[in-house]
Amino acid sequence: MMLSYFSLSEFDCQETGENAMDEGFLYALDDLREECGFPFIITSGYRSTEHSIEANKSEPGPHSRGIAADIACTSSSQRHTIVQLALEMGCFTGIGIHSDFIHLDMDDRYVDVMWVYGS
């Protein structure tokens, strides 16, 4: 797999080191990074089902299926650009907005959803 802007290891599970990221998701994220024109710092990529966040859920989420990532945001302008271009691309089905990051996923269980994380 040849990504222009990421190494696969950036998406390793932070607790187990595993990585089962979906190739299509990674290519879409790479395309989004190209469109945005600024670096992305991945704060969370793949999460093993044993990862503490996933293990506490009734059903593991899109991170555990390799179809989600959280991208650090350092400004409202970056946040706006990521969300706007992700929507324009049309392939990301879930967008979560946090003061420190943007969550993007391709979870087909919930299509065209956007949420804001509590502060």
Q: Is residue 3 part of a domain?
A: no
Position 1 confidence tier, pLDDT thresholds 50, 70, 90: confident
Model confidence band, residue 119 (pLDDT cutoffs 50, 70, 90): low
Mean of pLDDT values over 71-85:
96
In terms of Cα–Cα distance, which of 24, 18, 17, 19 is closest to 1? Answer: 24
Domain that holds residue 69: 8-116
Based on the structure, what is the number of domains in the chain?
1
Asked if residue 1 is part of any domain, the answer here is no
Residue 111: which pLDDT band, with cuts at 50, 70 and 90?
Answer: confident
pLDDT tens-digit map of 34-44: 999 999 999 99
Whole-prediction pTM: 0.94
Which domain CATH number covers 41?
A: 3.30.1380.10
- 48 in Cβ contact with 18 (< 8 Å): yes
Residue 109, number of CB atoms within 10 A of its CB? 12
Does residue 39 sit within a domain? yes
pLDDT of residue 118: 83
As a whole number, mean pLDDT of residues 7-21 equals 97
* Average pLDDT rounded to a whole number, residues 59-69: 96
The answer to whether residue 109 is domain-embedded is yes
- Integer Rg of the chain from CA: 13
CB-based contact 82:73 (threshold 8 Å): yes
